[in-house]
Structure 1
Amino acid sequence: MRGWRYNPELGAAIDAYVSPLFDVVSRKQREALYHNPLNSIHLSVPRGEDAAGEAVRTLADWQKTGVLRQDELPGVYVYYQYFRLPGSAREYCRKGFMCHIRAYDWSENVVLRHENTLPVSVNDRAELLARTQLQSSATHGLYRDDTFELERYMDEAIQDPLYQTEEDYQGARDVLAMIQDRDIIHRFLALLADKQVILADGHHRYEASLVYRQARQVADPKATGFELWNYHLMYLTNAAADDLRILPTHRLLLEFPGELSNEEFLKRLAQFFTVLGQDDAYDLPEIIAGKRWAFGLYLGGQAYKIRLKPEVHAQLAWDTTTEVKALDLTVLHYFVLERVLDVVGPDAQRNWPGVAYVRSFSECLAQVDRGTARAAFITNEVTMDEVERVCHSGAVMPPKSTFFYPKTIVGFLFTSIRDQEADNPFLQCV
């Protein structure tokens, strides 16, 4: 593919033009970014009564005036993210590359999802894609290669970066490079030819590509399958890598149904869990670390460690796979939300306004202390092995099960799927 990128002058100050993904950017961040008329947010999260129309006009202007320029030759775009985790001196580097892949339907069993999507978010992304015919941000996919062959080529390319951030909004340093050697690109194609891809992040944007592709197929039944609208921009990383990090997402209960008191809530929990009081709430993550079906609970200023009684697990009655039933978060959603709070079934829970998903441990405690939440459940992170097991079982996880860190950023690379740009000599090899 031949990507569109900020021109060299702007690329030298790329920090001013990148932005967070549409589903993680806060309202405060948006307002600050909108003040820069050339920031990528104007293409990824446009605003106005006709937001998609604004993005179309902005894109045309940026391409005409040279704000964005298209690379002369096609290639694979290497994307490294250097980051640290709280409490650790180690610098991680998540290695990957951005490319176009075919937008496979879920039924083709090539791209595998691990969560369900919300129709309203898919529709929003689909309209923006249809109007702009621009992929403004890459979704994140995982392939597995235990030989790490592609990393050798990427390590060499990253020594000559196109540009890099000083530090993005989440504290990571992002570096972009390019591989244009035809033989090396063929090695990428050959290695990935028979791989399944697990969609780690970007389910709504991927489904938007499916929606757009299906609409174009209906409109043009004689299409060859190589038109650019058949393709989707994806950032691919190796699931075998040690630098692939998944952070936990905790659960805040904003309310209890009915007039349920804290005491009655604890009493109901005790039917299913062993409940042990703890002296210090800040010890909860360490106390539950690595323990199956164990959670921290912060309720009414008191901390508890709770752990499912092993004999109770057989009561988990949802119609799903063994792999999903084994997950900590499935246990939490079934025995706490359904059995204790009577919010019955995954669909009802996904739409219930009484639960919020928060990544910050300290924010969970603060909201309970402020009275904006009744209780906080502190969770362990999901492992990559669990993600792979669930995806290969054909099922999906509970909502907000994974938070792959760091998130990719918007503004490093844009790709067009307009018909007139279908001149990539590598398409015949895909």
Structure 2
Amino acid sequence: MAIIKPFRGILYNPQKVNPHDVMCPPYDIISEELRESLYEKSPYNVVRIDYGKNSKEEDKYTLARKYLESWLKEGILIQDKHPCFYGYEIEYSYKNKAKKLRGVIGLIKLEELGKGVYPHEQTYAKPKADRLNLMKSCMANTSIIFSIYRSKKRITSQIIENQSSPFIQARDLNGNIHKLYRICSDTDINAIVEDFREKPIFIADGHHRYEVALEFKREMSALYPNQKDAAWNYVLMFLSNIEDDGYLILPTHRMVSTSMPIREALKANENLFDITEVSPSEDLLDIIEQMGPCHFGLYINSKAYILRYKGPVPEHLPEELRKLDVTILEEVILQRIFPKREVCYDIDIERGLRMIREGKCDALFLLRATDVEDIERVALAGLRMPPKSTYFYPKLLTGMIINSFRENL
């Protein structure tokens, strides 16, 4: 299904910069405060390209292009002379358990979604406009799409595991260690290409970036109809094997603000729920994880509750979506019971509780993590979960590699 190929990656030159100082998180989790900190960290931090600021004279997209071009001229960034695949490994820990995420970075041929590459979440229009403007200005993929695939033979996984000497290594803001390996032998390249030939790919993190790449391809193909294999027909992607069990899917919780009294509104719909009060000192997320599907955590002021959905299956939804916790929370609890509401999203429960204490939201609804099998099932059915249904961890670093659409730099 998927067509993957090697490419001439653009990498930071570790002889000229400290890799720890020039990388940044994905743009969509960078706050204004963090962006300022990254600007101060290094004059060569990639945030200036991928998520920059306007100056008095020029917009951020023009500045991004100028940074990319000047850093290449200065040798801060270097482009490989020959096409390679790139092994990417992240050493991290979660709940005091050491883990490794591994995958391969290559170029995936752009296809309409549902034809080899499958989304699983809905997207928003505003981030796509920003990413498209950046791509047009830089003529490059400046950050990596995170995708997953399933291969029981683990051919590509074994090639990555056999790499020994990373070209570049960097530590992220959480202390995780990121390593990038060049994979340039013809034997390994051919094996990777063959390994992906019949594999469906599921976008984990980067739906907006893939849809933007598709739009850019359409625009460029209209301008240059005869360039069927032009660089803009491909997109930069990291692919991790589900069978390696290297990543985590964390739940994204909902912080709700509404003029309605939440406890009373839920009580009025007690035919849909059992509501049980528990001690606020209990680990609410752990409780609902153990209880299984259709259980939700809820904090209101200083009180904590377990909600068990017992109502009817939402028959108006496709079968693949009906029993998902995130669908029940969005379609039944939030939309039906609280039609007038504002919702914020976060994986950090403590931050949500702090917002309640500070009067910035009225309640915090906790979700269990979405299973990868649910992602595969929904995606292959051509459907999408609500936005913020999944949070893949750890996050890839922006700046580890860039893909240019220009042939000669």
Report the equivalent of 2:361: 373
How far apart are residue 183 of structure 1 and its match?
A: 1.4
Pick one of 223, 227, 230 that aligns with 1:227.
230
Report the equivalent of 2:118: 112
Pick one of 32, 53, 59 that aligns with 2:37.
32
Report the equivalent of 1:161: 166
Contact 1:227 1:419 in 2 (8 A): no
Q: Does 1:148 align with 2:149?
A: no
SS at match of 2:147: strand
Contact 1:78 1:179 in 2 (8 A): yes
Gaps of 5+ in 1: 344-351, 422-430
Q: Does 1:7 align with 2:16?
A: no
Gaps of 5+ in 2: 1-6
Report the equivalent of 2:264: 264
Q: Does 1:123 align with 2:129?
A: yes
- Per-residue CA deviations over 1:286-344 (Å, capped at 9, x if unaligned) read 211141110111113111111011xx233x144x321111100101112211221135x
Report the equivalent of 2:257: 254
How far apart are residue 377 of structure 1 and its match?
A: 0.6
Number of aligned residue pairs: 398
Measured on the aligned residues, the alpha-carbon RMSD in Å equals 1.5
Q: State how far apart, in whole Å, the 1-side matches of 2:32 and 2:198 are.
A: 41
Pick one of 174, 178, 196 that aligns with 2:178.
174
Report the equivalent of 1:363: 351
How far apart are residue 391 of structure 1 and its match?
A: 0.6
Contact 2:123 2:387 in 1 (8 A): no
Could you tell me which amino acid in structure 2 is paired with residue 80 of structure 1? Answer: E
Q: Does 1:331 align with 2:331?
A: no
SS at match of 1:373: coil
How far apart are residue 163 of structure 1 and its match?
A: 1.6
- Per-residue CA deviations over 1:204-234 (Å, capped at 9, x if unaligned) read 11111111100011112222x2111111000
- Per-residue CA deviations over 1:348-367 (Å, capped at 9, x if unaligned) read xxxx6x11111111122222
Q: Which residues in structure 2 correspond to 1:235-254 (within 5 Å)?
A: 235-254=238-257
Q: State how far apart, in whole Å, the 1-side matches of 2:48 and 2:262 are.
A: 46
SS at match of 1:226: coil
Q: Which residues in structure 2 correspond to 1:87-102 (within 5 Å)?
A: 89-102=96-109
Distance of aligned partners of 1:405 and 1:263 in 2 relative to their CA distance in 1, 3 Å threshold? closer
Q: Does 1:137 align with 2:143?
A: yes
What TM-score comes out, normalization by structure 2 length?
A: 0.94
SS at match of 1:372: coil
Q: State how far apart, in whole Å, the 1-side matches of 2:261 and 2:34 are.
A: 38
- Per-residue CA deviations over 1:177-228 (Å, capped at 9, x if unaligned) read 11100111001001101111101011111111111100011112222x2111
How far apart are residue 419 of structure 1 and its match?
A: 4.5
Distance of aligned partners of 1:263 and 1:409 in 2 relative to their CA distance in 1, 3 Å threshold? closer
Q: State how far apart, in whole Å, the 1-side matches of 2:282 and 2:204 are.
A: 29
Q: Which residues in structure 2 correspond to 1:194-213 (within 5 Å)?
A: 194-213=198-217
Report the equivalent of 1:287: 287
Q: State how far apart, in whole Å, the 1-side matches of 2:263 and 2:105 are.
A: 52
- Per-residue CA deviations over 1:385-425 (Å, capped at 9, x if unaligned) read 1111111111000110000000101111111111547xxxx
Q: State how far apart, in whole Å, the 2-side matches of 1:313 and 1:174 are.
A: 46
Contact 1:77 1:97 in 2 (8 A): yes
Q: 1-10 vs 93-102, which deviates more?
A: 1-10
Could you tell me which amino acid in structure 2 is paired with residue 30 of structure 1? Answer: R
Contact 2:266 2:337 in 1 (8 A): no
Q: Which residues in structure 2 correspond to 1:299-318 (within 5 Å)?
A: 299-309=300-310, 312-314=311-313, 316-318=314-316
Q: Does 1:84 align with 2:110?
A: no
Contact 1:295 1:379 in 2 (8 A): yes
How far apart are residue 242 of structure 1 and its match?
A: 1.8
Q: State how far apart, in whole Å, the 2-side matches of 1:285 and 1:78 are.
A: 34
Q: 146-155 vs 193-202, which deviates more?
A: 146-155
SS at match of 1:409: coil
Q: Does 1:17 align with 2:17?
A: no
Distance of aligned partners of 1:60 and 1:262 in 2 relative to their CA distance in 1, 3 Å threshold? closer
Pick one of 370, 376, 398 that aligns with 1:382.
370
Contact 1:281 1:298 in 2 (8 A): no
Contact 1:262 1:300 in 2 (8 A): no
Q: Quick one: percent identity of the two aligned structures? A: 29
Report the equivalent of 1:60: 69
What TM-score comes out, normalization by structure 1 length?
A: 0.89
Could you tell me which amino acid in structure 2 is paired with residue 66 of structure 1? Answer: G
Q: 137-146 vs 359-368, which deviates more?
A: 359-368
How far apart are residue 370 of structure 1 and its match?
A: 2.2
- Per-residue CA deviations over 1:103-134 (Å, capped at 9, x if unaligned) read 11115x21100112212211111111111112
Pick one of 320, 337, 341 that aligns with 2:338.
341
Q: State how far apart, in whole Å, the 2-side matches of 1:106 and 1:19 are.
A: 28
Q: State how far apart, in whole Å, the 1-side matches of 2:72 and 2:351 are.
A: 42
Could you tell me which amino acid in structure 2 is paired with residue 209 of structure 1? Answer: A
Contact 2:104 2:156 in 1 (8 A): no
Q: State how far apart, in whole Å, the 2-side matches of 1:297 and 1:249 are.
A: 14
SS at match of 2:29: coil
How far apart are residue 280 of structure 1 and its match?
A: 2.5
Contact 2:169 2:180 in 1 (8 A): yes
SS at match of 2:382: coil
Could you tell me which amino acid in structure 1 is paired with residue 303 of structure 2? Answer: Q
Could you tell me which amino acid in structure 1 is paired with residue 266 of structure 2? Answer: L
Contact 2:13 2:76 in 1 (8 A): yes
Could you tell me which amino acid in structure 2 is paired with residue 18 of structure 1? Answer: M
Contact 2:8 2:84 in 1 (8 A): yes
